[in-house]
Chain A
Amino acid sequence: MTVEEIRGRLGGETDRFPVGMRVLAVDDDPTCLILLDGLLRKCQYQVTSTSQAKTALRMLRENQNRFDLVISDVHMPDMDGFKLLEHVGLEMDLPVIMLSANSDPKLVMKGITHGACDYLVKPVRIEELRNIWQHVIRRKKCEAKHESKSTTKGKNRHGNGEGEQGPSPTDNMDQNGKINRKRKDDEEEEDGEENGSENEDTGTQKKPRVVWSIELHRKFVAAVNQLGIEKAVPKRVLDLMNVEGLTRENVASHLQKYRLYLKRISSVATQQANMVAALGGTDSSYMRSLSSLDGFGDFRTLAGQGRYPNPALSSYQTGGIFGRLNSPAGVSLHSLSSSALIQPSHAHNLSNSLNTLEKFQPVVLPEKQNTSSFQRIPTSLEFDSPGDPTIFTSVGNASLFADNRAPLGISSNSLPSASVTPLILQGNLQQMQSGGVFGNQSSLKVGSLNSKPFNTGVAVQISRFSSNSLLLSEPFNHDLLPPNSMRSINSLSGPHIRNNPDDFSAMSAISSHMEDARGEIQYQTGLVGDVRNMNQAMDKRWGEHNQAYVQNPNMVFSTLNSMAPTKGVVNLLSQNVDQNNGVFRRETNTSLVSQSNSSVSTLLQHSGVEKSAIDSKMRSGEDYILEQTKTQGGFVHNGYDSLDELMNSMIKREQRGAMLTDGEFGFDAYTFGSCL
């Protein structure tokens, strides 16, 4: 919500933010809860308290716009505070403050890596609470800033930055706050959401937040992959994505998040490194391209931080999950494994779908380490270029969605699924831990890839995330790109499909992407994006699950003819598969992941390899199909230009509740559209 919204909500106290800021307080200890409640009321916030984390989550989910900030205790009996933190971060992108009687630095660090924007030690003093509104403003500002960056208008939004300095003293608030708010609003305007209605003036309009739908994310990932994770700069990514209404700012922030996500993933992927290595990180070229994604490495950090785009980012970590990940690129598989990798758990669907995917070469991008993970394995994907080499070049990255979504047209591509899959999948698979997410994904196989060496890093992770968690863990990210156009996908950093342990069937998200792909590159980007989104989202959540996120968001298809179909990973896959045409549709839909508990398979399925004719339609729908395999979460971002958008879409998605139906990706039917 922008400040405007907040103000509006206050109904009368519009200019008095932070007065009336809506806070949700969660603490199992009634004494502390009452105290916290009292203190917050004293600060003139609107407080809702609950002692149950589950109740809190429910309230948050019911109405995404109901709260501005969440404060939660760390030790709670029904759910770990960090878990709640991840959930909130992934799904709602709200600032979360952790609270604990324990001031152990390790815990504080844990809070940070899980995305908390602050950590307070009990007993909490009212002075500390007086300043918490800064987190709300800051978050909005960042988003706005990113989004507005791309606007051609020369607003000098950045000026806000200064004004916004977080902890400005309360007394400053009025002035700065107002100014900042204005600027922020202004920036918010820049959000991709508003096509063209950027409003120059600093005032008042509230920019709608860009929702990074799976499609959009996929596109983003595709674009990133195409450019190479390290070289991906918002402007270029934006150009590649060619999404109307998307601003450079959006892309920039989204990219940042994505990078963080990849980082996170890569840490996961490292575990899988072996796998990845096996995959053959041979593609130097690929890696190179991936390296361009270096930035993604940062994703990880992004992921860590507050909720980045939350879900999406986390998955990004691995960024270039490309199968190859051996190390550089993104073997993020490893990293993915933990984070974004398609969470096997969720991926039950994925696994199924993945099978079908076979073709999808799950590009395991995880590894953000290499940053190259997104590196889209440019040529490396080689998948075999037999026909569609491109297919997953990104596949490498995008470990496709584990879901076996077979439908992923990928198969049609003759992706060397086999070969590819191993790459990434491997990495992912591991990560997929429970679900073996990628494991089976032979489907990732990006089928058409002609057994081309996935090594190229195409981490087609799609491996089945058997466990349903996001399949996509990383591989998607870039590599998924459908062979044909995939080549371009290189830059796909593969969306990390974060599998939320809970829900992502992970792959479903991916599959959702795929679906869209209609043979278009969409998949790729979409997948990637989606995956990524999913991953990210999942990432956060899965931290514990260790599931491989399929981070495909990037992978997918960014390169596809610059069309980065952001459609869920699935798209990627399918696209890849279909690639033949090399026409990847870049779905700008960022709608990721439908929350299909049902599994990622939907993602994959949808991707329906039908994509054979990849038309380059670019969907500008910013929906990422976030397939939450499990019911929530998996965001698969299509290559979103900016993480912001990704996040937005994700968030939007959440809000919209548009979750792709499980099982069917129907990309078209995706929530993508609705995501926005």
Chain B
Amino acid sequence: MERSQMYRQLANMRKALFDQGFLDEQFVQLEELQDDANPNFVEEIVTLFYRDSTRLIHNIEQALEKNPLDFTKLDSYMHQFKGSTTSIGAKKVTNECTQFREYCKAGNGEGCKRTFEQLKKEYALLKKKLEAYFQLARQIGPVESACRPK
């Protein structure tokens, strides 16, 4: 694929991620931190996020299987998780986190579980999309850098 085409494609992918609400302004902050000294900053941090959050997701899952549910603990896990998701700008995932915490506060176990399933889906979906995005970006080479979103 031609380079310019790839650029365009990359730009489109990026735009779509924002338009579709997968990413928010915080992601732009990450991009801004990427420079010659840190050429792969965004990818690195996202990768780190996914690696680290796996543990949290696992903890939450286990906690959700307990009976009765310990909402305080669940809320605490989710709070941590949310801290990470907001840091990378994962908008949809963050929204699910917020929803989950609401259910925790209300003591709604079913709501929590449902939300959590939704959260995992969004989480996995975003991961796929970002992986594709980064792959393309790598192909293009370090020169490219995402432009700011509109």
Contacts and interface: CB of A to CB of B under 8 A. Distances in A.
Interface of A: 29-32, 34-35, 38-39, 41-42, 75, 100-102, 122-123, 125-126
B79 A32 contact: no
A122 B87 contact: yes
A38 B83 contact: no
B41 interface: yes
Contacts of A122: 83, 86-87
Interface stretch (B10-18, B42-50, B106-114, B128-136): B42-50
Given A35-B30, A101-B86, 5 more contacts: A31-B48, A32-B87, A42-B32, A100-B83, A123-B29
Given A31-B45, A122-B83, A122-B87, A38 B33 contact: yes
Nearest to A73: B83
Given A101-B79, A101-B83, A31 B33 contact: no
A31 B88 CA distance: 8
Contacts of A39: 29, 33
B145 interface: no
Given A29-B84, A122-B83, A34 B48 contact: yes
Given A34-B48, A35-B30, A38-B41, A123 B79 contact: no
A35 B45 contact: yes
Nearest to B30: A35
B92 interface: no
B62 interface: no
A306 to B, nearest CB: 24
Interface in B29-65: 29-30, 32-33, 38, 41, 44-45, 48-49, 52-53
Contact of B45 (A34, A42, A101): A34
Q: Which secondary structure characterizes the binding site on chain A? A: helix
B87 to A, nearest CB: 5
A122 B86 CA distance: 7
Contacts of B52: 29-31
Interface of B: 26, 29-30, 32-33, 38, 41, 44-45, 48-49, 52-53, 76, 79-80, 82-84, 86-89
Contact of A123 (B48, B80, B87): B87
Given A38-B38, A38-B41, A75-B79, A31 B29 contact: no
A41 B76 CA distance: 30
A519 to B, nearest CB: 55
B44 A34 contact: yes
Contacts of B38: 38
A30 B88 CA distance: 12
B79 A31 contact: no
Contacts of B89: 123
Nearest to B50: A31
A38 B35 CA distance: 11
Contacts of B41: 38
B29 A126 contact: yes
B60 to A, nearest CB: 15
A100 B87 CA distance: 11
A42 B86 contact: no
Given A38-B41, A123-B87, A123-B89, A31 B32 contact: no
A32 B33 contact: no
Contacts of B86: 101, 122-123
B32 A126 contact: yes
Given A42-B33, A123-B26, A29 B45 contact: no
Given A38-B38, A101-B82, A123-B86, A31 B26 contact: no
A658 B38 CA distance: 43
A42 B37 CA distance: 11
B80 A31 contact: no
Nearest to A100: B83
B76 to A, nearest CB: 8
A79 to B, nearest CB: 15
Nearest to A77: B80
A30 to B, nearest CB: 5
A448 to B, nearest CB: 54
Contacts of B45: 31, 34-35, 38
